Amino acid sequence: MTEEKVEEKTEDNKSDFKNLLQEYFKNMPKVGDVVKGEVIGLDKGQIHVDIEGMTTGVVRGPELFAESSEYANLKVGDEVESTVVDLENENGEMELSFRIAGFKRAWDNMKKWMEDEMTVKAKVLGANKGGLMMKTGALSSFMPVSQLNPDHYPRVSGGDKNKILDKLNELVGKELEVKVIDVDEDQEKLIVSERAVWEDAQKAVLESYNVGDEVDGEIAALTSFGAFIKFGQGLEGLVHISEIAWQRIDHPRDLVKVGDQVKAQIIQLDKSKIYLSIKRLVDDPWKKVKDKYKVGTKVEGKIIKVEPFGLMVALDDDIHGLAHISELSDQPIADIKSLYKAGETKEFEIVSLEPAEHRLGLRIAGVKGKNSKKVKKEEEKVEEPKEDEVEEVKEDKKVKKEKKVKEEKKEEAPVEEKTEDVSSKASAKDEPKEEPKEEVKKEKEDKE
C-alpha cells in the first residue's frame, strides 16, 4: 500500500470517528429529558441504569421515588423511564430521577382513571374540617366531606365542626375505594370521591324503585334539617324536616329518634339521592280544619314556643297556629318572653284561617289586636252619603239615560229628517217640544 493510500485511509477513519462523535453528542440526552433504560445494578439504595448503550446513569436518594409502587420493587433487567437531572456527577455517571418522570406518568394515569371512571384504592393520611387528605397512587389527593359515602358521612347534631373533625379522624389510616372526579396538574389539584363508587353500586338497586313507592325503614341518623332512613338493600334516603309532619317542628327529634321503625314514601329520585316523606302517608289534617275551627271563635291553646315575633300555639296534636305579637296586647310589648312561657295554656280567638297555606292566626282573648284596628280605620273612611247627594246621583243617572236614547234615535233617522229637526229646534228653541193636538188642528184650519 502506497504512502498516499495510507494517508487517505487515515483521513477517512478520522472523518468516520468525527461523524460518530458528532452523532453521539447529538443523541446524548440533555438535562430535563425523559430517557428509557435498563436496570443493570442495584446497590445500597442506588439503581444503575444503562441509557441505550450510550452511558450509565444512577438513581439515588429521594429521586428513587419509593412512594410509587411502580418503582418500589425493581430488579435487574427491568425497563424504566427516568429524567436527566445532571449530565455527569462526581463519579462520572449521569444523574437520573424516577421522581420527575414518575410524577408526570402519575398525573397521566389520573386523567385516564377519571375518563374511564375507574375505581381505585386510596389511603387516608389526615383530616381537616373540610374533608380528608389522601394518597391516591403516587399523588396526594383530597376528598371533601360531601364526597364520603353515607356510612362514613359525619352526621353531627347542630353541625358542630369540632365534632365533625373527630368523626373524620376516625378514618385516618384506612383505605377507601374511590373514583377520581377532578384532575388539575398545573394546580396540583386532585379530587376523589367515595360517594361516586357508592352511587354506582346503588344504580341497579334503585332501578327497582319509583316515585310514590312506600318503604319500611329505620331512622339511621338525625340532623337539624331532617332524618335519614335506611331501607331495602343498603339504601338510605333523607326525610327533610318539612316532610316529617304536617305541623311545624323545630327538630326531627321532637317526633322521631334513631332506631325507630317507620314507613315513608319516595317523593324524589335524583341519581343516588333519595328523598322521602313520612307525612304524606297520613291524611292532611288541614283539609278538615274548617269543620273543627271557625274564625271568631274562642279556643284553648298551648304555647309551644315563644318567638320575638309572637307565639307558636298548639290547638291540638295536628293544628298549630301563630299569635302575632301585635295580637297579644293593645299596648306595645317590650319583652315578650317576660309575659309568656312555653307550656302555658291560654284562651285565644281565631282571627284568620287559611287551610291551603296551613296557616291559622290567633289573638289573646279580649285583645282588640291589629285586625280590629284595621277594620275600624276602614269603617271611618267609608261615610254614608247624604239624602240630597243620593237624589242628585239619581237625577244625574236619569239625564244621562235620556241623552243616550236621543242620540240613538238621531242615528236611526234619515239625513233629511235630521236637517229639518235641527232647523225647527233653532226657530222654536224656547217653545215646548210637544203641543196639544187640538191647538195644532186649529192652527192648520186658520192657514187654509
Cα–Cα distance, 272 to 277 (Å, whole number): 17
Tell me the CA distances in angstroms from 222 to 8, 167, 274, 434, one per residue in order: 96, 15, 16, 94
Contact 178, 143 (CB under 8 A): yes
Q: What pLDDT score was predicted for residue 163?
A: 86
Amino acid at 337: K
* Cell numbers that stand for 335 in this block: 319583652
The per-residue DSSP string of 201-238 comes to HHHHHHTT--TT-EEEEEEEEEETTEEEEEETTTEEEE
Cα–Cα distance, 362 to 315 (Å, whole number): 10
Residue among 268, 253, 45 nearest 158 (CA): 253
Q: What pLDDT score was predicted for residue 66?
A: 60
Cα–Cα distance, 193 to 171 (Å, whole number): 14
pLDDT, averaged per 10 consecutive residues of the chain (448 residues), comes to: 55 55 61 85 84 84 66 80 85 84 83 92 92 90 92 77 89 94 92 90 82 94 90 88 88 91 93 88 91 94 93 92 93 91 94 92 88 42 42 50 57 42 38 44 45
Place of cell 436527566: 84
Cα–Cα distance, 197 to 440 (Å, whole number): 111
83-94 core/surface letters (b: 16 or more CB in 10 A; e: else): bbbeeeeeeebb
Q: What pLDDT score was predicted for residue 15?
A: 57
Tell me the CA distances in angstroms from 366 to 305, 329, 354, one per residue in order: 21, 9, 22
Residue among 375, 374, 369 nearest 333 (CA): 369
- Residue spans of the domains in the chain: they are 14-104, 117-199, 208-281, 285-381
The per-residue DSSP string of 372-401 comes to HHHHHHHHHH--PPPHHHHHHHHHHHHHHH
Q: What CATH number labels 117-199? A: 2.40.50.140
Predicted TM-score (pTM) of this structure = 0.49
Q: Rounding to the nearest 10 degrees, give the CA dihedral for residues 293, 298, 303, 308.
A: 100
Cα–Cα distance, 291 to 313 (Å, whole number): 19
Looking at 3.40.190.10, 2.40.30.10, 2.40.50.140, 3.30.2350.10, the CATH number of the domain 208-281 comes to 2.40.50.140
Task: Give the helix/strand (H/E) hosting 337.
Answer: helix 336-339
Contact 362, 313 (CB under 8 A): yes
Cα–Cα distance, 12 to 415 (Å, whole number): 131
In words, the CATH class of domain 285-381 is mainly beta
Place of cell 326525610: 239
Q: Look at the chain and count its residues.
A: 448
Amino acid at 316: D
Task: Calculate Rg over the CA atoms of the chain.
Answer: 47
Q: Which residues contact 27 (CB under 8 A, 6 or more apart)?
A: 54
Residue among 81, 76, 82, 80 nearest 97 (CA): 82
Q: What pLDDT score was predicted for residue 309?
A: 93
Please give the DSSP secondary-structure letter assigned to residue 312.
Answer: E
Q: What CATH number labels 14-104? A: 2.40.50.140
Cα–Cα distance, 228 to 226 (Å, whole number): 7
